[in-house]
Structure 1
Amino acid sequence: MASLATSIIFSDSPFRASPIHNHRISRYASRSSTAFVVSPRRRGLTVVKSALIEPDGGKLMDLVVDESRRSVMKREAETIPVRIRLNRVDLEWVHVLSEGWASPLKGFMRQSEFLQTLHFNSIRLENGSVVNMSVPIVLAIDEEQKSRIGDSNRVTLVDSVGNPIAILSDIEIYKHPKEERIARTWGTTAPGLPYAEEAITKSGNWLIGGDLQVLEPVKYNDGLDRFRLSPSQLREEFIRRDADAVFAFQLRNPVHNGHALLMTDTRRRLLEMGYKNPVLLLNPLGGFTKADDVPLNWRMLQHEKVLEDGVLDPETTVVSIFPSPMLYAGPTEVQWHAKARINAGANFYIVGRDPAGMSHPKEKRDLYDADHGKKVLSMAPGLERLNILPFKVAAYDTTQGKMAFFDPSRSQDFLFISGTKMRGLAKKKENPPDGFMCPSGWKVLVDYYDSLGSESGNGRVSQAVFSA
């Protein structure tokens, strides 16, 4: 399992090329400023006016039906004879698509988009430009559903109890090449890949794509909806805070002080570069995760404690849930994570060691090379607006009693605390070294693992309690 050490990727200066990525460099400035783009085909500068960084395709997709038309569209959805029931992961992808995280997609992928994603990790638009798209966002159906659809041109998508969620129009049905999809997404077809087993292996043999009209904003009514800001809402919040730079941090784990060190040091460096008010988007993943990950509700409570204790500054931090499912697809998936945050307005992106990685499902090793994620991001098609600026990794400095940047000249003084070790300590109610995580945040983690023992004893699921 990868350690929790981290590094950073972001745009450094207007015309700084990394050794790997030098074919196109861009700087997208923030509010009321000017961006300069160097084009490989046009030697010279193109001046671009930009509020926040421009969404992929130039427009943020909003697939939620306007409130004035919802009652009409809901009645229309009821009249469509064919209904497709969504499972949990399907609904999460509807949520992602509806809010524009996957812009410029207008719905579940048709075959041409699916094949481009699978083979090129990108989609070419009608104007010839390329946007990154590294993971298929598709909807599977079985033979019986395909037969019922017949020649129909649209279907109604419903939730687990039959409530209409969306209308899928101008549909296209095509074969679901499961083995190829798994092999190209994960680089292996070994059994035990969590997302593949959850959403692909047992799914239907056909895929259905089309344009989505989502009948109303997706809500979960789990006490966390107030944290689920859409890309458009996030952009509004960044403008309200007068942010002139936005840097995003993707995570699916509790925040320890090494994470916080990287985030606060990133802001310091952005200030040194001349930005006046860089704002952090702390954007934990909120969709499907594997069974041994800490559940979202407990992670969000832990993040609240980090802010309450001042480890991160609430004035310069926006906490919001990223609704995507987690694939654990390493360098392939990290491109999706970066692309989605561009659509949310972030022009800087922090990336960790072995991002989106996991242990090999059958062998005692990591599934991916720990450095490949950040290297792939530096070369990924459609992500030319991001450049690598390597940081020293963060680890626990035993001489200072705190998380610090690793110094290879005294490597014996540093302790790398992996996610596995962190979870093991919490399960045994043992404390980590002082300075690894804020005490109130650590208590949340201990309480979570303690609740698992209570659940096994009484059959009840304990819930994290949030402040108002």
Structure 2
Amino acid sequence: MANPPHGGILKDLIARDAPRRQELIDEAEKLPAVVLNERQLCDLELIMNGGFSPLEGFMNEKDYNGVVDNNRLADGNLFSMPICLDLNEDVLKEVGAKPGARLTLRDFRDDRNVAIITVDDVYQPDKVKEAKEVFGDDDMAHPAVKYLHTISGSHYVGGKIDAIDRLMHYDYVALRYTPAELRLHFDKLGWSRVVAFQTRNPMHRAHRELTVRAARSRQANVLIHPVVGLTKPGDIDHFTRVRVYQALLPRYPNGMAVLGLLPLAMRMAGPREALWHAIIRKNHGATHFIVGRDHAGPGKNSKGQDFYGPYDAQDLVEKYRDELGIEVVPFQQMTYLPDSDMYMPKDQVPQGTRTLDISGTELRRRLRTGGDIPEWFSYPEVVRVLRESHPARNKQGFCIFLTGYTNSGKDAIARALNVTLNQQGGRSVSLLLGDTVRHELSSELGFSKEDRNKNVQRIGFVASELTKSGAAVIAAPIAPFHSSRQQAKELVEKFGSFFLIHVATPLEYCEKTDRRGIYAKARAGEIKGFTGVDDPYEAPKDGEAALTVDISKGSVRTAVHQIVLLLEAEGLLDQL
């Protein structure tokens, strides 16, 4: 029999409210609506399907304070993560959010009404305190702290949920089990002891070995339960990861493992996150839960130190073991023994035994460069999936982003580089000149700082999409402000390499060689907001530019050659 849910009763709101569905559908159409973002939708889905049992809605102030201060809801139930509907004041006023009000909750992706909340209270959290208590530090290097201060709404709305319908998914539908469905599946298979494995990364041979060892030692089966909601920025997309898990599954002994997907928005909160994960897996029917070394840790803080100790998460979950009713299985660091072709926990390896390991950083390097990934580390079918999503370096997309004054030579360099890369072949090349973008993409924008930033953001977005498809992108806006260049860089680097090229031709030279007379018109006041005349240009800071060129001291051909050498040094070009 599966483990009882946290709090004793599975809060499956979708099943509970099904008899009233038409009534709720009709009511939702008449109520003010709140459009939920991606993280809020992840939270709502697990509230409605019982994954967050015993929660029946977003936390009111009493529950929120209890969780932040003591890892407990107001009724005394253990819960470690604030689950809050965060809204800004303008939205609160627009929908009339106040105690007793009923509001429709709407999915931003398809404009469907998915639930109704009855407002219990509206309160303003102490976000600094929340950051320190829940995440251990108010450090913006922590992704959840950054989200809390820069994205999360100013107020929280607490209240219970009436579920209209489950959220609509179009990917891996057969693998998306609700807690009730997964419990039924375990019962059908005859499983009574289940070890759950949390992951947000691809799995390799070592992961297979440690989960099999955990199952054998507990006489249990394995639930591979990866997160497919929001994870840490920079993580491999869930489509690739799920294909990896599907490729790996036949490597388990027949009938040992099941794959199910969890639509969770992770907070990377280390110890608190591990406790939260254990509660969620208990609700899904698991009896055991593997807690990793530095479980759900976000990496380094702004001082270069780990946010959490390596075993803090294991210690906190173990502290509440009896109350949780789920057994913690400490994650064992596995290492490969080449002389015996087997994996063994590192702490059990006899002294002097030869071992082999490949770190995550080294794996990413090999994927990026097309380097060998041996079968002792990962199965060929897994590597094949990863290579499909991580092409060799010379097939990856990149963006050359030239910035400089009007008539600095950046457009001429961009055009010449475009010809050079097209001549070489191997990938598509896209040219985004400043004037062209202004005419085709940003014709309604002026030249205020806000409009200039918006124009560069659009260029960054287009460049990122092209980069994702493996293209070479050459962008040449003036881009006078550091902040907008940085935003463009962050957009592109989600999918490929970004190289800022500062065309540092002096203003005097740009103006002296201006045959179109644009500078003269700006000096005469005929053109307003002209960069370098009556509008500022923030030159790239030290280390911001990958390369600096100056047409007053060299030629366009020389500048292009320098850029090509830079790309070759980075392994992004086939040999000419």
Same fold (TM over 0.5): yes
Given that 1:219 and 1:225 are in contact with CA atoms closer than 8 Å, whether structure 2 keeps it comes out as: no
Higher relative contact order (CA 8 A, sep 6+): 1
RMSD: 2.4
Which residue matches 2:292?
352
Deviation at 1:353, TM superposition (A): 1.1
Given that 2:6 and 2:282 are in contact with CA atoms closer than 8 Å, whether structure 1 keeps it comes out as: yes
CA separation of 1:211/1:232 partners in 2, compared to 1, >3 Å: closer, same or farther? same
Q: For residues 227 and 255 of structure 1, what CA distance do their matches in structure 2 show? A: 17
CA separation of 1:292/1:314 partners in 2, compared to 1, >3 Å: closer, same or farther? farther
Which residue matches 1:122?
72
Which residue matches 2:369?
428
CA separation of 1:390/1:168 partners in 2, compared to 1, >3 Å: closer, same or farther? closer
Which residue matches 2:474?
none
Given that 2:104 and 2:115 are in contact with CA atoms closer than 8 Å, whether structure 1 keeps it comes out as: yes
Are 2:55 and 1:101 aligned? no
Unaligned 5+ residue runs, structure 1?
Answer: 1-30, 32-51, 272-277, 464-468
1:303-352 CA-partner distances (Å, limit 9, x unpaired): 11112xx3223522110111111111111111000110001110111111
CA separation of 1:75/1:290 partners in 2, compared to 1, >3 Å: closer, same or farther? same
Moved more, 445-454 or 56-65: 445-454
Given that 2:136 and 2:307 are in contact with CA atoms closer than 8 Å, whether structure 1 keeps it comes out as: no
Moved more, 350-359 or 404-413: 404-413
| Residue 257 of structure 2, aligned match among 297, 314, 317 | 317
Which residue matches 1:154?
102
Q: For residues 328 and 261 of structure 2, what CA distance do their matches in structure 1 show? A: 25
1:186-237 CA-partner distances (Å, limit 9, x unpaired): 111111322333455332211001011221111222x222211000000000
| Residue 172 of structure 1, aligned match among 117, 121, 131 | 121
Q: For residues 150 and 217 of structure 1, what CA distance do their matches in structure 2 show? A: 24
Which residue matches 2:248?
306
TM-score by length of 2: 0.65
Which residue matches 2:539?
none
Are 2:355 and 1:414 aligned? yes
**Secondary structure of 1:328's match?**
coil
Which residue matches 2:477?
none
Which residue matches 1:3?
none
TM-score by length of 1: 0.79
Given that 1:426 and 1:446 are in contact with CA atoms closer than 8 Å, whether structure 2 keeps it comes out as: yes
Q: For residues 321 and 214 of structure 2, what CA distance do their matches in structure 1 show? A: 25
| Residue 282 of structure 2, aligned match among 342, 347, 357 | 342
| Residue 192 of structure 2, aligned match among 226, 244, 265 | 244
**Secondary structure of 2:215's match?**
helix
Are 2:21 and 1:70 aligned? yes
Given that 1:227 and 1:321 are in contact with CA atoms closer than 8 Å, whether structure 2 keeps it comes out as: yes
1:268-303 CA-partner distances (Å, limit 9, x unpaired): 2223xxxxxx32111001110223211111000001
Deviation at 1:441, TM superposition (A): 0.4
| Residue 139 of structure 1, aligned match among 69, 82, 85 | 85
| Residue 448 of structure 1, aligned match among 353, 370, 389 | 389
Given that 2:321 and 2:328 are in contact with CA atoms closer than 8 Å, whether structure 1 keeps it comes out as: no
Given that 2:336 and 2:356 are in contact with CA atoms closer than 8 Å, whether structure 1 keeps it comes out as: yes
Given that 1:339 and 1:383 are in contact with CA atoms closer than 8 Å, whether structure 2 keeps it comes out as: no
Are 2:26 and 1:88 aligned? no
| Residue 218 of structure 2, aligned match among 251, 256, 270 | 270
Which residue matches 1:380?
320
* 1:365-376 equivalence runs, <5 A: 365-376=305-316
Which residue matches 1:23?
none
Are 2:112 and 1:112 aligned? no
Q: For residues 207 and 72 of structure 2, what CA distance do their matches in structure 1 show? A: 30
Given that 2:42 and 2:263 are in contact with CA atoms closer than 8 Å, whether structure 1 keeps it comes out as: yes
CA separation of 1:178/1:451 partners in 2, compared to 1, >3 Å: closer, same or farther? farther
| Residue 297 of structure 1, aligned match among 218, 239, 244 | 239
Which residue matches 1:43?
none
| Residue 225 of structure 1, aligned match among 157, 173, 197 | 173
Given that 1:108 and 1:139 are in contact with CA atoms closer than 8 Å, whether structure 2 keeps it comes out as: yes
**Secondary structure of 2:318's match?**
helix
CA separation of 1:150/1:390 partners in 2, compared to 1, >3 Å: closer, same or farther? closer
CA separation of 1:365/1:420 partners in 2, compared to 1, >3 Å: closer, same or farther? farther
**Secondary structure of 1:282's match?**
strand
CA separation of 1:78/1:391 partners in 2, compared to 1, >3 Å: closer, same or farther? closer
Q: For residue 302 of structure 2, what is the amino acid of its counterpart? A: K
Which residue matches 1:47?
none
Deviation at 1:402, TM superposition (A): 4.0
Moved more, 189-198 or 344-353: 189-198
Structure having the larger proportion of residues in helix: 2
Are 2:133 and 1:184 aligned? yes
Q: For residue 177 of structure 2, what is the amino acid of its counterpart? A: L
Identity of aligned residues (%): 26
CA separation of 1:438/1:168 partners in 2, compared to 1, >3 Å: closer, same or farther? same
Q: For residue 419 of structure 1, what is the amino acid of its counterpart? A: G
Deviation at 1:89, TM superposition (A): 0.6
Deviation at 1:439, TM superposition (A): 1.0
Q: For residue 181 of structure 1, what is the amino acid of its counterpart? A: E
Q: For residues 277 and 97 of structure 2, what CA distance do their matches in structure 1 show? A: 36
1:353-377 CA-partner distances (Å, limit 9, x unpaired): 1110121142434221111111111
Which residue matches 1:282?
224
